[in-house]
A = this chain, B = another copy of it.
């Protein structure tokens, strides 16, 4: 790879990406463009602008954008249509944000004439893969720079020395090492590393940042109604809202009731297992609600096929293959299934749990007429079941006869 001339950096404004910024300038002598996105991580972005300017970035090279609506509408919601969970439990909060960031990095590179993008993910994690696969899928000629895999700033001490040597301001609380590492966006907060590295040990209370302890949640349950159209949430308690607003509101509700905490050991794409603490308050409610509305509006054939495809779909997102033909194929199948997934689900939030307690829809496939214990007026002929069973049993009986024969 020839040396990059102009690099778009995913820049948070924090110490680490500031060091990367400076390292790119000094190591490659290249022009740096910064991209700072509001994905709902709950931080002010303007300080990032000031910091970038302080580090010598030209104003026209500083991109600061609120991408929350795009994030929820084009990434989070399509994923939730699939009821995607990785390894049975993880709601993919970090995984789903990376492709959007890469997409903007590549677009900004094209707009600014940059030939490279850079990110601050380490060489041990999944995020490097997600950033880079997305970038290459969108621009096959882009260069990708991953300083954590390249540089020799391999200890906290050396990082801080580099920062000092280059006049990068270091917040006082960053002198010591953080007790764990955090990623946050509108869908979730993840924490990992350091104090969390022993999976036998319970995560300390202070790790949780976005949800109250279930023990501290209100003593009375709260009920919420979520309305769906074409598989996406469109209203809460009857109030129509934009995608990002809905997720924000569900986060508040979930956070208040201690919903959406997960302590997980997961298999990384790069081959090792890692332990993470995830808080996904709104997403946890949304998944339960989506399953609830599907339960009355989705045919069994479609629902079961979705369930079988889901693990693969979730794996693709986890592994960084959002922009891949196979993810798009699965999305086409999933989206096809959601045409009539509309109606309302009523949920109970209480001390860490969320449960569907009612659901209704104009598009319901639930037929009280058919299922009733009462007289069904001929809607269903129980004698048909005898034939159904006899024919389904035929191959099993032929097997049993064969096996009897010896």
Q: A128-B389, A129-B388 are in contact. Are A398 and B367 (CB under 8 A)?
A: yes
Residues of B within 8 A of A312 (CB): 305, 308
Cβ of B197 and Cβ of A372 under 8 Å apart? yes
- Interface locus among A15-23, A31-39, A247-255, A347-355: A347-355
Q: Is A202 an interface residue (CB 8 A)?
A: yes
Q: Is A386 an interface residue (CB 8 A)?
A: yes
How far, in Å, is A342 (CB) from chain B's closest CB?
10
Bound together, the chains give a CA A330 to CA B311 distance in angstroms of: 16
Bound together, the chains give a CA A405 to CA B363 distance in angstroms of: 8
Q: Is A60 an interface residue (CB 8 A)?
A: no
Bound together, the chains give a CA A402 to CA B328 distance in angstroms of: 17
Residues of B within 8 A of A270 (CB): 385, 388, 391, 394
Q: Is A208 an interface residue (CB 8 A)?
A: no
Of A265, A298, A315, the most chain B CB neighbours within 10 A belong to A265
Q: A299-B395, A366-B199 are in contact. Are A146 and B386 (CB under 8 A)?
A: yes
Bound together, the chains give a CA A297 to CA B329 distance in angstroms of: 15
Q: Is A170 an interface residue (CB 8 A)?
A: no
1/0 contact string of A345-370 vs chain B (CB within 8 Å): 01000111101111110111111101
Residues of B within 8 A of A198 (CB): 368
Cβ of B336 and Cβ of A399 under 8 Å apart? no
Within 8 A of B (CB), among A38-56: none
Q: Is A83 an interface residue (CB 8 A)?
A: yes
Q: Which of B139, B368, B388, B398 contacts A392 (CB 8 A)?
A: B388
1/0 contact string of A301-322 vs chain B (CB within 8 Å): 1111111101110010000010
Cβ of A371 and Cβ of B272 under 8 Å apart? yes
Q: Is A406 an interface residue (CB 8 A)?
A: yes
Q: Is A115 an interface residue (CB 8 A)?
A: no
Bound together, the chains give a CA A315 to CA B329 distance in angstroms of: 19
Residues of B within 8 A of A371 (CB): 124, 197, 268, 272-275
Cβ of B149 and Cβ of A382 under 8 Å apart? yes
Cβ of B214 and Cβ of A351 under 8 Å apart? yes
Cβ of B337 and Cβ of A333 under 8 Å apart? no
Cβ of B356 and Cβ of A353 under 8 Å apart? no
Residues of B within 8 A of A267 (CB): 299-300, 303-304, 395
Cβ of B154 and Cβ of A365 under 8 Å apart? no
Cβ of B148 and Cβ of A382 under 8 Å apart? yes
Residues of B within 8 A of A239 (CB): none
Cβ of B199 and Cβ of A360 under 8 Å apart? yes
Cβ of B363 and Cβ of A406 under 8 Å apart? yes
Residues of B within 8 A of A128 (CB): 385, 389
Cβ of A393 and Cβ of B295 under 8 Å apart? no
Can you name 19 extra interface pairs (CB under 8 A) apart from A271-B392, A302-B329?
A: A133-B392, A136-B396, A136-B397, A271-B393, A271-B398, A272-B370, A273-B300, A299-B325, A299-B398, A308-B311, A310-B311, A328-B336, A333-B333, A362-B405, A362-B406, A365-B398, A365-B402, A370-B394, A381-B390
Q: List 15 A-B contacts (CB under 8 A).
A: A124-B380, A124-B382, A128-B389, A129-B389, A137-B396, A139-B400, A199-B359, A202-B357, A263-B355, A263-B356, A264-B295, A265-B359, A268-B371, A272-B370, A350-B352
The 10 A-B pairs of least Cβ separation, nearest first, read A387-B387, A123-B382, A271-B394, A267-B300, A384-B387, A140-B397, A388-B391, A302-B325, A140-B400, A301-B326
